[in-house]
Structures are given as structure tokens and as C-alpha cells.
Amino acid sequence: MNKVDQRIPAIINELIVNRGFASNSEIACVYSERYGTGITKEEIRTAVHLMEKDSGLGLFAPIYYDAEKDGYLYSEPGYSIVQESLTEKDLEDVALAVKLLDQFKYRDLFRSFSGIIQKMLDVMRIRETNTTGRPYDFIDFEKVGASRGSRFILPLIRAIDTKKVIELTYQPFYEEKSHSTIVHPYLLKEYRYRWYLIGLNDLSGEIRTYGLDRVREITITDKPYMERTFSAEEYFRHTIGVIAPQGVPPVIKIKADKPQALYFITQPWHESQNIEKEDDVSVTFSYRVHPTYEFKALILSYGQDVEVLEPLSLREEIAGLLQKAASKYQR
């Protein structure tokens, strides 16, 4: 059997199953996104040939090339090279792994993954209560797509752990071209299902935040590594999100209507949240945080149910944004 990168058939199969066909350009694009390197049309053709003809892969897939669609298709509807499901033993092994993770989810290393671990625990507990053998159709978990750029997580962990300076090819939002910058990587942080790198920008000498979904390439350099001089916990103590202005944050007070306030009490916005005043119709909360974009977006997301009381500058800014939003519906 000719040697073939078995990740290529997996990508071809995924595209055909999910989209109906797989073009050469799509296959190459997905491969590059996931593994950080390119593949040729010849490699794709070899993979397709082996999927169809080679007993070494054990597939004999009903795959063919459609010139009109300029892509590969399966002649058998519903076919997939991934046919096997998890066995009962596989599920038992997963359940054991999840239970082991549960013991560690509040330790520093696993704290940021506690939500994921909890969801896996919930799934396994639901499975244990199911005696019918059929999937429950009355439980619907939140569905989140894979974060673009997640392929850089492991290389960045290695770079941080071994204290390597990296050259980052980065394309900010609203810019057509990417650019390269030298970064001393310090910290990986997840926020709302997206991953971010926090590190020292070598040119500016300032701590910067980079979204992994906007990273295009990472290269290890031989530049001397500058050690981290800040505590991650302290750095993000007074912020919501991934942008962390430094300095003393203001005290922000908001008033929430009573029904909505009950949600804030059970799921606080920030660890500094404190109840300042409460009556029959509303609750006033205080926060010691910087009024970042994420915090303002959080306030705006509750519309008429919340009101900023202090500081006056933030109150006026939020009022102006709400007025602009309302004006769009008056045209």
C-alpha cells in the first residue's frame, strides 16, 4: 500500500458527509487550518485512490469525482468511512475518565475546564438514568462549534512551558492583510468559547492580547525569553473578558429590575459584585471593574432591565449608545 496521510481521507469524508461534496481547494484549506501545513492535489488524489481501491485502509469507499461540482462525492447516499459507534466498554472507559477529571476540576490546572468537565459529568449521569437504550430526545445541550485557531493551543502551551519567544503571523479584524510580530507568550485564556494568547509584544514592550482565531502561523525564534513579571490572577482581577486595563478600576453601580436581578444574584457578573440596595421593584449592584467593551456589551444586552447609576461618564455613554440603537428603528 502506498503511504498516505490518513488525516486526508478523514477530512474528505467529513466534507462529503457534511456538505455533499469535497473540492480540492476545500480539502487543502481545512488541512492547512488544522495542521498548519499545505497538501498538494497529488496527495489528495492519492488519498482518494486509496479510499476507493486499497485494502490496506479497509474502506473501498464508493467515491468518485464530479467534474461539474469540481469535487468528490459518494455514490451511496448516507455512506461514511466512520461507521463504528462507541461500544459499551468505550462508554464505561469515558465515564471513568470523566469521574477522575471531576476530582481535579477545581485545581488550578483544570479550573478553566471545570465547565467542560461538568457538562461531561451531566452527560454521563443522564446516560446512567436511561434504561430504554434509546437517546433521550427531551434534553438539548448548548451546541458550540469548534473554535478556529484551536490547532495553535498545543504549540503555544509548549512555547510557554519551554519559555520560547515566538513570531506570530496575525490578522486583526477589519484588516485585509496579516502581519508578523514577535511575542513572549505568557498565558492562554478562554472567554466565551474562544481562546486568546496574552504575551509581551517585543516591539512595544507592552502586554497584548491575541485571539487565536486570528493567528495564521506560529514560528519559534531563538530570541532571549523575557520572564513574566505579573500575576495572571491579579492582571484579570478587575476586568470582564480578555482586555485588562491596568490601574485602579472605578466603582460601577447598576440598578436591575427585580425579576432580572434574581438571575444576577444566582450567577454574578464578577467576583466583586455586591448588593448595595434592594426594594420591592429593583436591586442595586456595585462592581469594581474597568468599563471594557465586554462589560458595556453585557450591560447593553439586558436593555431596559438595567440602568447604570454611576459613574456619570459611563451612564451617559450607555444612554448615548441606547439612543443611537433606538434611532435606527425610527427611520
pLDDT at residue number 138: 54
> How many domains are contained in the chain?
4
pLDDT at residue number 99: 62
pLDDT at residue number 153: 83
Q: Are residues 228 and 154 in the same domain?
A: yes
pLDDT at residue number 1: 38
Q: Are residues 163 and 218 in the same domain?
A: yes
pLDDT at residue number 190: 82
In a domain, 137, yes or no: no
CATH classification at residue 154: 2.30.30.520
Range of the domain at 285: 251-327
Distances (CA, A) of 193 to 34, 147, 188: 17, 7, 13
Structure confidence by residue, pLDDT tens digits, 188-207: 888 877 889 999 999 999 88
Which residue(s) pair with 191 in the sheet? Answer: 194
Structure confidence by residue, pLDDT tens digits, 32-48: 888 888 888 888 888 88
In a domain, 273, yes or no: yes
In a domain, 267, yes or no: yes
pLDDT at residue number 233: 81
CATH classification at residue 287: 3.30.70
Question: Splitting the chain (331 residues) into consecutive groups of 10 residues, what average pLDDT does each group show?
Answer: 69 84 88 84 86 61 82 82 56 61 54 58 58 53 59 85 91 82 91 86 91 89 90 85 87 93 89 92 95 93 93 96 91 70
3-state secondary structure the chain: CCCCCCHHHHHHHHHHHHHCCECHHHHHHHHHHHHCCCCCHHHHHHHHHHHHHCCCCCCCCCEEEECCCCEEEECCCCCCCCCCCCCHHHHHHHHHHHHHHHHHCCCHHHHHHHHHHHHHHHHHHHHHHCCCCCCCCCCCCCCCCCCCCHHHHHHHHHHHHHCCCEEEEECCCCCCCCEEEEEEEEEEEEECCEEEEEEEECCCCCEEEEEHHHEEEEEECCCCCCCCCCCHHHHCCCCCCCCCCCCCCCEEEEEEEHHHHHHHHHCCCCCCCEEEEECCCEEEEEEECCCCHHHHHHHHHCHHHEEEEECHHHHHHHHHHHHHHHHCCCC
In a domain, 2, yes or no: no
* Nine cell digits for residue 179: 502581519
Cα–Cα distance measured from residue 112 to residue 135, given in angstroms and rounded to the nearest whole number: 29
Q: Are residues 29 and 57 in the same domain?
A: yes
Q: Are residues 92 and 69 in the same domain?
A: no
Distances (CA, A) of 65 to 21, 31, 54, 82, 156: 9, 19, 17, 20, 38
Let me know: does 81 contact 59? Beta carbons within 8 Å: yes
pLDDT at residue number 199: 93
Q: How far does CA 286 lie from the centroid of its chain? A: 29
Q: Are residues 255 and 314 in the same domain?
A: yes
